[in-house]
Amino acid sequence: MALIMHAARGNTDVYKTLIAAEYVGVEVKMNENFRPGMSNKSPEFLKMNPTGTFPVLETPDGPVFEGNAIARYVARGSPLFGSSLIEYGQIEQWIEFSSSTLDANFRRLLKPRIGYGPQIESAEEVYIYNVKRGLVALNKHLASHSFLVGDSMTLADIITTCNLLLGFWLLLPKSFTCEYPNVERYFWKMIDQPNFSKITGEVKQVDASIPYALANKPRVAEAPMPRALKHPHLRMC
């Protein structure tokens, strides 16, 4: 049985696994019949993941859900986990850091912008502070490192780059990221790697953050999303 990814194709959590699969030579097939909001509510899907969120990877040994966990499963036993115990620990460290400090706060900033809740200025200030704190730390580390751990690509680089992708694509214009030149250099270096660009396609940095078009008017689930907000990376599940 092949590895089958159940998810919408334009999803940065899916990218983590597909990019890792390119590096380790594992074939992952997309479920082309997957429909967000429909497929993930079916009894068959809920048996694989009772939370109903995607992505889910169907494997010969059973299902795995949550983006980072799926990427770890695909990369298991490969050089993407480093060459020593300390490198393995540092890889996990950067995965946890970029997921909790960057990705989680990017998603919190995005939700009210695409109609999943009201704008709360005091909360947004906290999220932006957390993002800046994370970028300062990452920028400092990358001042003397080409890769996050060791001298070659690891799962930490793949997941961290995908975690940065939402920010660069939808929230952080050049006027913001220019304060973190080492992060900029690192991000574009990673995105330009063939195994990345094959999966992500062309990446363009946002000119300005998505406005709060629906900030105080939560989107009804059945209502169509405004054309201006139809972007392949606006997947919140």
Q: Give the start-to-end residue ranges of the domains of the chain.
A: 3-75, 81-200
Q: Which helix (H) or strand (E) holds 57?
A: strand 56-59
Q: Tell me: the pLDDT tens digits for 61-90?
A: 999 999 999 999 999 999 999 999 999 999
**CATH 3.30.300.30 matches 3-75:** no
Question: What integer pLDDT is reported at residue 235 of this predicted model?
Answer: 46
Q: What is the pTM of this model?
A: 0.88
CATH of the structural domain 81-200, one choice from 3.40.50.2000, 1.20.1050.10, 1.20.1730.10, 1.20.1440.230: 1.20.1050.10
Q: Tell me: the pLDDT tens digits for 128-170?
A: 999 999 999 999 999 999 999 999 999 999 999 999 999 999 9
Residue 226 has pLDDT above 50, yes or no: no
Q: Tell me: the pLDDT tens digits for 91-104?
A: 999 999 999 999 99
Q: Confirm if 114 and 210 have CB atoms less than 8 A apart.
A: yes
Question: What integer pLDDT is reported at residue 217 of this predicted model?
Answer: 46
Q: Tell me: the pLDDT tens digits for 173-185?
A: 999 999 999 999 9
CA gap 175, 197 in Å, rounded: 24
Tokens linked to 69 = 């966990």
Question: What integer pLDDT is reported at residue 95 of this predicted model?
Answer: 98
Residue 221 has pLDDT above 90, yes or no: no
Q: Tell me: the pLDDT tens digits for 1-42?
A: 689 999 988 899 999 999 999 999 999 999 999 999 999 999
Task: Give the pLDDT mean for 220-224.
Answer: 36
How many Cβ atoms sit within 10 Å of the Cβ of residue 200?
Answer: 21
CA gap 79, 166 in Å, rounded: 26
Distances (CA, A) of 185 to 146, 191, 210: 9, 10, 23
Identify which has the larger pLDDT, 144 or 227: 144
CA gap 155, 57 in Å, rounded: 17
The per-residue b/e assignment along 92-123, b for 16 or more CB within 10 angstroms, e otherwise, is: bebbebbbebbbbbbebbbebbbbebeeeeee
Q: Which helix (H) or strand (E) holds 105?
A: helix 104-113
Question: What integer pLDDT is reported at residue 195 of this predicted model?
Answer: 98
CA gap 32, 23 in Å, rounded: 23
CA gap 54, 219 in Å, rounded: 20
Do 3-75 and 81-200 have matching folds? Answer: no
